[in-house]
């Protein structure tokens, strides 16, 4: 993995983790689903001209449209929708730690649903990740962590795992920014009716902090992180790209503590470190098998890939 890929991976993890802090600011002042619809719509409006300026086509292949729809449904509508609702009651750092479990969930679902073999290192990593999360959440439950919000975050991370698997359909695509724009539009369309039904008439507490957080969320995590993720998957593959998620619990807790003043106790530091180590172990365990198949995979067209 070269320096460019490492820079993209660290940049993605930093942008992705920062979104939890700005999201917490937004949902404490505005209806979450309505804010998401606006965010997705603005992201699509910004990303489409960018895609055209980059010489990309708005005409996508069947596999690319599959990625757009699954990613738009699972990541935007389900993962972000549930997370934004939950974060009215759950701290940003807690939501970030739960979401960072995504590679662990992917590995577990692969073993459970597809009988994929897990190397001993991966098994240890899965166990470590669960222990780390239980340590953090156990202490936080004693400090009043909202249980319904916690459950929504857990459901959301499963949806995020499915969205990550769907990103493989875009591997090798020359229309990455178009895919980013279209999946944002799908997310906006899917959440429009729920937002109107559930949040009609709810007030917004306008402030400079809210506006800044919203603009940042649209540009950095919304467009920037998603684009970086697709580029990273395209360059190093989904397995190696997901390795950078081990930085997410560390970044998520640190950013929330620095900007929101959220608790940053010994259990958070130790637990986040254990989760990060577990994620890294699971991803490293996958890399040799993925590398052995890379030459064959590189010769396949998008429509022929799994």
Q: Is the pLDDT reported for residue 169 higher than 60? A: no
Kindly tell me the number of DSSP H helices and DSSP E strands found in the chain: 14, 0
Q: For the residues of 3-50, what is the DSSP string, one character each?
A: HHHHHHHHHHHHHHHHHHHHHHHHHTTS-HHHHHHHHHHHHHHHHHHH
Provide the pLDDT confidence category of residue 278 given band limits of 50, 70 and 90: very high
Looking at per-residue confidence, does 60 or 167 come out higher? 60
Q: Is the pLDDT reported for residue 171 higher than 80? A: no
pLDDT at 191 (0 to 100) = 96
Report H helices in 167-265. 176-199, 208-217, 226-236, 238-242, 248-260
Question: How many Cβ atoms sit within 10 Å of the Cβ of residue 166?
Answer: 20
Provide the pLDDT confidence category of residue 211 given band limits of 50, 70 and 90: very high
Q: Is the pLDDT reported for residue 242 higher than 90? A: no
pLDDT at 87 (0 to 100) = 95
Asked whether the CA dihedral 190, 242, 281, 141 is positive or negative, the reply is negative
pLDDT at 21 (0 to 100) = 95
Widest Cα–Cα separation across the chain: 56
Of the listed ranges 2-6, 55-59, 121-125, 275-279, the least confidently predicted one is: 2-6
State in Å, rounded, how far the first CA of the chain is from the last one: 23
For tokens 């086509």, what's the residue? 57
Each residue's pLDDT tens digit, 7-57: 999 999 999 999 999 999 999 999 999 999 999 999 899 999 999 999 999
Residue 206: phi and psi, rounded to 5, are: -70, 140
Q: Is the pLDDT reported for residue 303 higher than 50? A: no
| Residue whose C-alpha is closest to residue 251's, from 85, 32, 21, 60 | 21
Distance of CA 68 to the CA centre of its chain: 15
Angle between helices 248-260 and 92-99 (to 10 degrees): 170
Provide the pLDDT confidence category of residue 172 given band limits of 50, 70 and 90: low
**Average pLDDT for residues 102-113, to the nearest whole number?**
83
Provide the pLDDT confidence category of residue 290 given band limits of 50, 70 and 90: very low
pLDDT at 299 (0 to 100) = 32
Rounded-to-integer distance, Cα 26 and Cα 168, Å: 31
Q: What is the CA radius of gyration of the chain?
A: 19
pLDDT at 40 (0 to 100) = 93
Rounded-to-integer distance, Cα 42 and Cα 40, Å: 6
């Amino acid at each position: 993995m070269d320096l460019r890929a490492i820079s993209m991976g660290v940049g993605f993890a930093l942008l992705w983790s920062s979104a939890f802090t700005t999201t917490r600011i937004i949902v404490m002042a505005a209806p979450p689903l309505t804010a998401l619809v606006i965010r997705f719509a603005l992201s699509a409006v910004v990303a489409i001209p960018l895609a055209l300026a980059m010489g990309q086509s708005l005409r996508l292949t069947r596999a690319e449209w599959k990625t757009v729809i699954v990613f738009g449904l699972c990541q935007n509508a389900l993962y972000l929708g549930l997370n934004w609702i939950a974060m009215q009651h759950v701290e940003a750092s807690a939501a970030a730690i739960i979401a960072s479990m995504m590679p662990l969930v992917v590995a577990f679902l692969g073993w459970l649903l597809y009988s994929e073999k897990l190397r001993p290192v991966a098994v240890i990593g899965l166990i470590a990740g669960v222990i780390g999360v239980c340590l953090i959440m156990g202490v936080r439950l004693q400090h009043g962590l909202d249980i319904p919000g916690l459950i929504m975050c857990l459901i959301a991370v499963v949806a995020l795992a499915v969205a990550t698997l769907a990103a493989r359909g875009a591997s090798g695509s020359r229309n990455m920014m178009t895919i980013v724009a279209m999946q944002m539009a799908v997310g906006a369309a899917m959440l429009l009716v729920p937002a109107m039904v559930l949040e009609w008439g709810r007030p917004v507490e306008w402030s400079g902090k809210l506006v800044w957080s919203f603009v940042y969320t649209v540009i950095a995590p919304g467009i920037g992180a998603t684009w970086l993720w697709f580029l990273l998957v395209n360059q190093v593959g989904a397995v190696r790209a997901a390795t950078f998620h081990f930085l997410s619990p560390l970044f998520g807790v640190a950013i929330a503590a620095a900007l929101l003043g959220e608790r940053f106790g010994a259990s958070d530091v130790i637990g986040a470190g254990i989760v990060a180590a577990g994620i890294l172990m699971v991803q490293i365990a996958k890399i040799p098998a993925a590398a052995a198949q890379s030459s064959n995979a590189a010769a396949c067209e998008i429509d022929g890939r799994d």
